[in-house]
Amino acid sequence: MSSSRLCKVGFLWNELLESFDFGRKHPIRIGRFKMLRNFIEENGFLDQSNVQVINPQPLSEELLEKTHSEDYLAKVRMISETGVGDIDIDTPGFKNIYFHSRIASGASITGIHSVMSGDVDHFISPTGGFHHATFESGGGFCIFNDVAASVITLKQCGLKRILIADFDVHHGNGTQTYFYDDPGVMQISFHEDPEWMYPHDGFIKDIGAGAGCGYNINMHFPMDSCDSVYHYAFDELVPPLIKMYKPEFIIFIPGFDAHYKDRLAHLNITTDMIRYVTKSIHEAAHTHCNGKMGVLTGGGYTNASLKWGFGTVMSVLTGHTYEPPVQEPPFDDDEETWNQVRQNVMKVKELVFPELGI
């Protein structure tokens, strides 16, 4: 399949994605997903012949039981029924949280089935990317791990090599625990230095275990890193890793919260970098996966930059023109940042590339 033709893109949407209530002061607020839906409509994406709206279905109980422990599911159900209790200190509980989490994570699985059935080439969800949830717990605004559930679903479809390309500014600590020793899943994570960024996990030395050694790649960046060092690290690491692995499906989290305007992080990338990364991942999907890829929104906690990033990714996937405002980050990459990033890239290469024969 050539990426030069217009790709069929499925956008996951249902008003029920707004069936949550973390509270008025929480970074994830009611209206977030409707805002993205309205934004792409206003910018003409939903008028394109190659874009279709897909209605998300709730995550099945059977898949939930493969993704999370019985005790944890019982805890979420109890909070859902009573409205009492929290998932974690940063993830408040509320009535009907169980249903909301099933539909929010189910959007990713609905998208997976749409791609695997051939209805669309790619899907993009305004939600998903709940990579902090583990088998036995939630946290980091994540209740059910849709990334892990997506991998389980793809394995049930017979796929042997699945790439998780996770550029969220926060490391996907939960997803890492599911597949740490599994060579059938390559996880590439670009995130802010865990020394000062939640979840304080995702160190370069954590490269996988057993048969999965080398397939878990963590590249972290110092505070105030900008496009130049990010571009350098991406080119040095990601293309050779993907070329070696030849994935059959790519799950992509673009990293909207790495943008310089984001309220909860300290990196300084622009939508130019988001476009560059997205174009590269999109081309890789067509080169290796017959186009099979899904995009999960993940983080992004400033409305303007979240919309700009989402529109940029939609533009790359659909071929419909969208240009965000001119970006003006507050810093440039200085010598200290360059030295640290070069050292980190070298460490990743020294640890991972020999394990993979690169």
pLDDT of 60-72, one tens digit each?
Answer: 999 999 999 999 9
The confidence band for 136, taking pLDDT boundaries of 50, 70 and 90, is very high
Tell me the two tokens of residue 294. 């899904």
Banded model confidence at residue 125, pLDDT cuts 50, 70, 90 = very high
Range of the domain at 16: 9-356
Q: Against a cut of 0.75, is the pTM above it?
A: yes
- Evaluate whether residue 119 is within a structural domain: yes
Residue 10 is predicted with a pLDDT of 98
Does 300 reside within a domain?
yes
> Of 31, 101, 44, whose CA–CA distance to 72 is shortest?
101
Q: Is residue 204 part of a domain?
A: yes
Count the domains in the chain: 1
**pLDDT, position 27:** 84
pLDDT digits (tens, 9 = 90+) for 11-21: 999 999 998 88
Structural domain includes residue 1: no
Do the domain assignments include residue 4?
no
Domain containing residue 335: CATH number = 3.40.800.20
Judge whether 60 lies within some domain.
yes
In a domain, 2, yes or no: no
User: Is there a domain that residue 308 lies in?
Assistant: yes
